[in-house]
Structure 1
Amino acid sequence: MPSQSPLLYRLIHRVIWLLSPKYKLYGTENLPPEPCIIVGNHCQMYGPIAAELHLTRPHYIWCIGEMMNRKEVPAYAFQDFWSMKPRRWHWFYRLLSHLIAPLADYIFNHAHTIPVYHDTRVMTTFRQSVDRLKEGADVVIFPEKSDPYNGILWQFQEHFADLAKLYNRRTGTAVCFVPMYTAPRLSSIHFGKPVRYNPEADAAEERARICHAMLTAISDLASALPQHTIVPYPNIPKKQYPLNTDRTC
């Protein structure tokens, strides 16, 4: 939590800490001594909240820009969080999306976050991320999107990997990507072996390599654990939640 955060934010942070599940960290020896890019499964809001509360190294989390703008929160929150809920309840979730807007705006603008944009402002996301890495903080990214991948993960928006190219251009350093699997049902966070960016490779091929390596490593981390229910990226009915043994590839 930022040391100079307002008192209200510190109080909210403390309440969330008290009410949230406590996670144990495994595989922290896989984190390199230098700042890195941590790539994890989103598992709805569990992934970002667990990362904010339990990662012990300095870090900043990519946060969708719409959730940091009070006017844009309702439309984004309903579509991303609750649009797959039963239609008879849509009126309630539309109301809820408006009610959470002021709180979301406040929390996400005071937490360890970097706004993520998918328009011409995307370079702001990358520049801020490079600056945070240069300051010695890890950057945490949850790149899943709504297309299923293998029963454990949903497909990644693969351009997150381009952050390594810009960081290399600015610093001459080849940054590591570290896979992270969050298992809310096991109250645990697991880190896999790092994958280092190769600045000599073709940019498109390197983007695809890193994306595939992270998808595979996170899936392997999940599959190696005792049988448990996966909390998926989309907010689907709980009876449709898969098991970590349901991996299809």
Structure 2
Amino acid sequence: MLRFYGPFFRFVRAFIRIFYRRYSVFAPTTSKEPTVYIAHHQNLFGPFIILLSFPQHLHAWILDVFMNQKTCFKHYADYTFTKRFGWNRMLAKLIAWPISFCISKLLTSGRSIPVYRGSKKIIKTIELSVDVLQKGESIVIFPDIDYQDASSETKNMYDGFLYLEKYYYRKTGQHVCFVPLYASKRSRLIITGEKIIFSGKEDFLSERRVVLQKIKDNLNKLASICGDT
């Protein structure tokens, strides 16, 4: 059986695990069917912990700028290190240059799916995602609008990921299985919530709002169960 992740991702993850203790996992809703996990970003905490410790192989949705060295460098130099952290531009460029190579290579090696937000190319994100779901593989998405919010409460989320339902159903005749996935700082635990599936009894736009609210409520319920709120 071929390895899921590439060698660079496996090496980096193994190295980090030497110094950073893995979280326990309680995932009663994990199943063999392809799943779209919806997780809380928490200012990078969610992606870091889940990709470090979750036992199931996952394709993470990642903003496309981070998966190309040139655009990754520009983002870190022109925004993250300068506008967000307030660094001197020359220092920002010096640090961003080597980091951009590592980040883009790591995410590509981790078999991430690029997200072309605000572009017509977003259809590529959907098509790639449907393809991996049809292969029986799973996805993790961190759709927080304010991804810098480190609090345990899940607030406003982008809802574009729910279009996976339309395209997947059109291809397979089956509904997407969405499962909330929460990483708890307090309990050092990764926990899954209930399976949330479109019923198909309402029109897509109406049911989309219902499903999104169920996902948000379930993530906040998991945070409460873990004692984070």
1:141 matched residue in structure 2: 141
Is the contact between residue 36 and residue 176 of structure 1 (CA under 8 Å) also seen in structure 2? Answer: yes
Deviation by residue 1:187-218 (Cα, 9 ceiling, x = unmatched)? 21111111112334212112211211111110
The change in CA–CA distance for 1:200 and 1:185 in structure 2 (over 3 A counts) is same
1:23 matched residue in structure 2: 23
- Distance between the aligned counterparts of 2:96 and 2:64, measured in 1? 16
1:100 matched residue in structure 2: 99
Deviates more, 1:155-164 or 1:96-105: 96-105
2:122 matched residue in structure 1: 122
Percent identity (aligned): 24
2:160 matched residue in structure 1: 159
2:13 matched residue in structure 1: 13
- Distance between the aligned counterparts of 1:81 and 1:172, measured in 2? 46
Matches within 5 A, 1:1-80: 3=3, 7-26=7-26, 28-77=27-76, 79=79
The change in CA–CA distance for 1:159 and 1:82 in structure 2 (over 3 A counts) is farther
Cα deviation, residue 180, structure 1: 1.1
- Distance between the aligned counterparts of 2:46 and 2:82, measured in 1? 17
What letter corresponds to residue 124 of structure 2 in structure 1?
T
Structure-1-length-normalised TM-score: 0.79
- Distance between the aligned counterparts of 2:142 and 2:4, measured in 1? 26
Is the contact between residue 192 and residue 221 of structure 1 (CA under 8 Å) also seen in structure 2? Answer: yes
Q: Matched residue of 1:21: which SS?
A: coil
Is the contact between residue 54 and residue 190 of structure 2 (CA under 8 Å) also seen in structure 1? Answer: no
CA RMSD of superposed structures (Å): 2.5
- Distance between the aligned counterparts of 2:81 and 2:185, measured in 1? 17
Matches within 5 A, 1:190-229: 190-226=191-227, 228=228
- Distance between the aligned counterparts of 1:8 and 1:31, measured in 2? 27
Deviates more, 1:175-184 or 1:2-11: 2-11
Is the contact between residue 184 and residue 226 of structure 2 (CA under 8 Å) also seen in structure 1? Answer: no
Q: How many residue pairs end up in the alignment? A: 223
Q: Matched residue of 1:181: which SS?
A: strand
- Distance between the aligned counterparts of 1:125 and 1:18, measured in 2? 33
Structure-2-length-normalised TM-score: 0.85
Deviation by residue 1:98-138 (Cα, 9 ceiling, x = unmatched)? 33101011111111311111112111111111111111111
Deviates more, 1:189-198 or 1:72-81: 72-81
Contiguous gaps of at least 5 residues in structure 2: none
Cα deviation, residue 186, structure 1: 2.8
Is the contact between residue 168 and residue 199 of structure 1 (CA under 8 Å) also seen in structure 2? Answer: no
Is the contact between residue 57 and residue 137 of structure 1 (CA under 8 Å) also seen in structure 2? Answer: no
Deviates more, 1:89-98 or 1:128-137: 89-98
What letter corresponds to residue 66 of structure 1 in structure 2?
V
Cα deviation, residue 90, structure 1: 5.5
